[in-house]
Amino acid sequence: MPTATQVLDFDYVIVGAGSAGCVMANRLSADPAVRVCLVEGGGDDRSARIQVPAGTITLYKSPKYSYNFESAPQTRLNGRRLHCPRGKMLGGSSSMNSMIYIRGMPADYDRWAELGCEGWSYADVLPFFRRSERNLLGHDTRVHGESGELCVDQPRDPNPLSHRFIDAAKRIGLPHNTDFNSGDAFGAGIYDVTQKDAHRLSSYRAFVHPVLSRPNLTLFTDTRALSLDIADQTARGVFVEREGQVVLLRAHREVVLSAGAIGSPHLLMVSGIGDEAQLRAAGIALRHHLPGVGRNLQDHLDGLVTVRSSSAQTLGFSRRSLPSVLGAPGAYWLKKKGWLTTNYVEAGGFARTRYAGDGDPDVQFHFVPGYRSHRGRLFEFGHGYAIHTCVLRPKSIGRILLTDDGQRAPLIDYNFLEREEDARVLIEGIKLARAILAGPEFEAIRGKEMLPGAQVQSDDALFDYVRAYAATVFHPSGTCKMGVDDASVVDPRLRVRGLRGLRVADASIMPLLVSGNTNAPSIMIGEKAAQMMLEDAAQTHSNRATKHETNRATLAA
C-alpha cells in the first residue's frame, strides 16, 4: 500500500464524479451530520466546449477532457484497436456525451430481476428514474418525473434533415415515436436530451454544483485514486494522489466506486481484488479473490452508413455554409438557436430486424444531419448525412485486464463478434438504415454513399465491411456484474462480495447491457445505490440502539 502523508476523515468516500457518483454525493450529503467526499480524477467543467451542446465533438479525443483508452486488437475486426473515450472532468462522461436521455426498455430490467437481482425489475427502478427527472415536455407523469434535478428537454433547433429522417423512417414501418421512454421504444423521433436553457446538463451540474455550499460535502478534482485501503476484509478508505502528495481518504461508513466500467474494475484489481492468477501475473498481491472483476464487458457494436451530399442544408463547413457558421454564436447566445444547439444526433429510433421477430427492437439508430467521415476523422470539410446503427443486446462478451508492461493500465478487450449473430443483427440493421436513406424524403439532397459504398451489397460483403469498420458507441458496461452467481462482483445491494464497507455503483454493475444509451440508467443506479446506503445506515443505527437498550436492561436487572 502507498504511504500517506495526510489522512482525512469522512463517512462516505465516492470515487468518480460521473453520472452515478454525483447523484450519490447529493443524496448522501443531504444529511448535514454525514461527511461526504467526492473524488474526481479530472478537472473542472468550466469550458464552452463542455457547456455548449455542439462542443461535444471537440471532446472525444481531447487529452484534457478524455481518458483516451484504446482497446486491445480485436481479432474478429481485422486486428483493429478501437478508441474508447471516457470523461475526465466533473460530470465524467455525462459532460462529454451526446446528452441523449434513454432509459432502455422495461424488459431489460425485468431480465436483471430474473437473473436473481431482486429489487431491480422495471417496476422497482421506475421510481428512481422519476426521482431524478424534471421532464419539460409534458410527458406522462406516470412514467416521468416533474420535480427532479435532471432537466429533460428536446434540442432547441433541430436540423430540418432530422425531420426528413423521421418521415423516411415511417415509410419502412417505423412510427413517429414522441417518447422513447414511455415503455415502448419502437419507432423514430427526436431524442430527448439532458439540457437546460440550451446548455448541457451533466450529472455534476444537475446534482452537485447546486449544493456545493453544503459544509459536509467535500469535492476534490485532479485527484487520482491509487488503491483501496483494505484491512480485515473491510474497505477503510482510498489512497489518492493529490497535489503531488499521497493522501488517505478514510471512510468510516463506506467507500463507493463510481469510476465507470473501466475505472471501477481497474481500481479493484490494482488494489488486489480480482482473479488471483491474473493479479499475480501482474505482480499484485492478492487481497481478495473475486474472479468476476473485469469480466462480462459489454458494449453496443456500431455500423455506419455515411453519405456525401452537396446540400448546405446539412451541418458542415463550406463556402456556402459560411453565413450560418459565422452567425452561429450570435444565434446561440441571443436566441438559443442555430448550429451550436445541436448534439449532432438529434434524431434516431429503435427498429426490429428479422431476428427480433415480434419482440423488443434489437437495433438503434442515431441519425447525424452532417457528414460523418469515411476515414474515421472527427471532422471533415463538406456536407452530408449519416446513420449509426448499433446492436442493442450483444451476445459477445469481453473483459478488462491489466497490461503486462509494468504500468498496470487497463487493457480493454471487447471481444467483438465472438458470437456471429451480433454481426448478422448489425448487417440487417444497416440494411434498414439504407432503406430509410433511400426514401424520396432524401431525393433532393441525395449524394454518394461513401460507406459501406454502393459496391457493398451482399451479406458476405457487409460482413467484411463490419469487420473493417464497425466500432463502438461508447457504452461499456458489466465489468463489476451484479448478481447472485459465482461470476458476480456485487450483490443486488451493490456490495462487493466478500468485503465490508465497499460498493460499486455505475454502469459496471449491469448484468446485461441496457437497450439504449447508458447515461440515464447510470443516474438511476446512483439514485438506487444512495437509497440502499441510507437504508443500511438507518438499520445499523437501529441495531446499535437496540443493543444499547438491551445492555441497559440487562444491567438494570
User: Which residues are known to be catalytic?
Assistant: 475
Pinpoint the alpha helices (H) of 133-237: 160-171, 203
Residue 556 class from Cβ within 10 Å (0-12 exposed, 13-18 middle, 19+ buried)? exposed
CB proximity list for 321: less than 8 A, separation 6 or greater:
312, 383
Cell numbers describing residue 385: 448525412
Task: Return d(Cα 14, Cα 7) in angstroms, integer.
Answer: 16
CA nearest 310: which of 439, 446, 440, 434? 446
CA-angle at 411, arms to 220 and 18, nearest 5°:
30
Q: How many CB atoms lie within 10 A of CB 321?
A: 19
Q: What is 342-357 written as a DSSP string?
A: --S--EEEEE--TTTT
Residue 416 CA to residue 296 CA, distance in Å, equals: 12
Cβ partners under 8 Å of residue 388, min gap 6: 302, 303, 304, 345, 365, 366, 367, 368, 372, 473
Taking residue 323's Cβ as centre, other Cβ atoms within 10 Å add up to 10
Question: How many CB atoms are closer than 10 A to CB 334?
Answer: 9
